[in-house]
Amino acid sequence: MVLAQGLRVGILGATGAVGTEILAILAERLFPVAELRLLASPRSAGQTLSFRETVLPVEAVSEQTLKGLDLILASAGASVSRQWLPIALKGGAIAIDNSSAYRMEPNVPLVVPEVNPDDLKTHQGIIANPNCTTILMTVALWPLHQVRPIRRIVVATYQSASGAGAKAMQELKDQALDILKGQPPRTEVFPYPLAFNLFPHNSPLNEQGYCQEEMKMVNETRKIFHAPELRLTATCVRVPVLRAHSEALNVEFAEPFPVQEARDRLQKAPGVQFVEDWQRNYFPMPLEATGKDAVLVGRLRQDISAPNALELWLCGDQIRKGAALNAVQIAESLIAQGLL
């Protein structure tokens, strides 16, 4: 697809849940696209997707289909990114990668635009998109960290099926139907039934008993905040929610942080929608976060066990702000800073 002006853009992993969301967000936000290539594995080649009322074919990713692009938005997994992004860079493209392949590389910026857009100035062709849970948490905590440095974070996540992709979301639906029919639930994507159930995140465990997902939150937050000594512990749980993750946060500061001051900061923070109605016991919910760009934050309160700590709750759409939207916002920030 060729338009009058803009950038030559490729979406790598275009047929996946995040890839199709990127496609929709590019259209919604009127991103300046001159040419758009939808790239995926050979088995997906030949499919079609719509962009701005135009039907586009999906092409197999290759050295040829990457040639001449200005921007690659990649969401096809770490091994695919490691294989193809260096080739795209040789052709002059800038890559924004949604996988874990490059996140902890010292020379690769790991960026949440509401938090550390200046880190983009040091990029060497690849910019990493953080893990979904990290993005949601840092959007909510950065406005507070700027005022009073955070010393320690204790977070428990409640992660939806969408974090494991479109097939996982369908599996949750199928399992719910199986159980309601009195049949044993079928499992293919997840190791255990997720419908009417929950279990700790099933990513690989390290020798300390922390899973890979939990360590992503620890290491990525330290990198994004430029705070290598930040103390952070996480417990990540998969819950029977189709889309949008939730997080319960206990945040300890170097000194007391008055609740009303923190509330005022969050109500004005970019990327945050503050949701609180104490009379109705109404706070952020994944159903209401689904499809929204903002991270919903609320139930802010003083930790009664620690004078320097606050408690808060958040929900955010894992596919949008937790992945696709953040990638597009990185591209927009590159353009705004004259880097793309």
Residues identified as active-site: 132, 245
17 annotated to a ligand binding site? yes
**Helical segments of 67-198, H only:** 78-90, 132-145, 166-180
Whether the CA torsion 14, 19, 22, 24 is positive or negative: it is: positive
Between CA 52 and CA 69 the distance in angstroms is 20
163 annotated to a ligand binding site? yes
162 annotated to a ligand binding site? yes
Between CA 7 and CA 32 the distance in angstroms is 6
Whether the CA torsion 160, 164, 169, 171 is positive or negative: it is: negative
318 annotated to a ligand binding site? yes
Residues in the chain: 340
Between CA 158 and CA 143 the distance in angstroms is 23
Closest C-alpha to 50, from 23, 74, 28: 23
103 annotated to a ligand binding site? yes
146 annotated to a ligand binding site? no
SS3 labels along 48-63: EEEECCEEEEEEECCH
Beta sheet of 94-97, edge-to-edge order: 48-51, 54-60, 33-40, 7-12, 71-74, 94-97, 126-128
Angle ∠(64,332,272) on CA atoms, nearest 5: 135
DSSP bridge pairs for 128: 97, 110
159 annotated to a ligand binding site? yes
Give counts: helices (H), strands (E), the chain.
9, 14
The alpha carbon of 124 is separated from its chain's Cα centroid by a whole number of angstroms, namely: 22
18 annotated to a ligand binding site? yes
Annotated binding-site residue numbers for substrate? 159, 238
Q: Return binding residues for NADP(+).
A: 15-18, 43-44, 162-163, 318
Annotated binding site: 15-18, 43-44, 103, 159, 162-163, 238, 318
Annotated binding site for phosphate: 103
